[in-house]
Structure 1
């Protein structure tokens, strides 16, 4: 999987409040989704972003997505 451009995924961009980094390794993106899931507005996830999360779960998480709830 290639680098992930944060500008293509609104919710990912929203949870990256502490970095100016524009592109992420898939592992970084997956970890951000898991650690900051409580800040994700699931109603605003586009089909494209849902597909990204599903792909990251399959490839990086080995089929497991364990979000942290604050």
Structure 2
């Protein structure tokens, strides 16, 4: 489980998520769908590491973004 408030840049894309935590698979799916709305230049090193880990674990090494 991820704590949304610990993701300074990514937390903005979870605007409609009601809980304070989110399952990693759900987070990955939302990241993919809302990638254009992520201020990529503001991602922290930890957030980039997280995205890469989720990509490898749930996206089979691919981040499918529009």
TM-score when scaled to structure 1? Answer: 0.87
Q: What is the distance in 2 between the residues matched to 1:38 and 1:18?
A: 16
Name stretches of at least 5 consecutive residues in structure 1 with no aligned partner: none
Matched with 2:57 is 59
Q: What is the distance in 2 between the residues matched to 1:37 and 1:11?
A: 12
Could you tell me which of 10, 18, 22 is aligned with 1:20? 18
What is the correspondence of 1:1-70 to structure 2 with a 5 Å cutoff? 3-68=1-66
Q: How many matched pairs?
A: 66
Instruction: Identify which range, 4-13 or 52-61, moves more after superposition.
Output: 4-13
TM-score when scaled to structure 2? Answer: 0.92
Structure 1: 4+ residue segments shifted above 2 A: none
Shift of 1:20: 2.3
RMSD: 0.9
Instruction: Identify which range, 29-38 or 5-14, moves more after superposition.
Output: 5-14
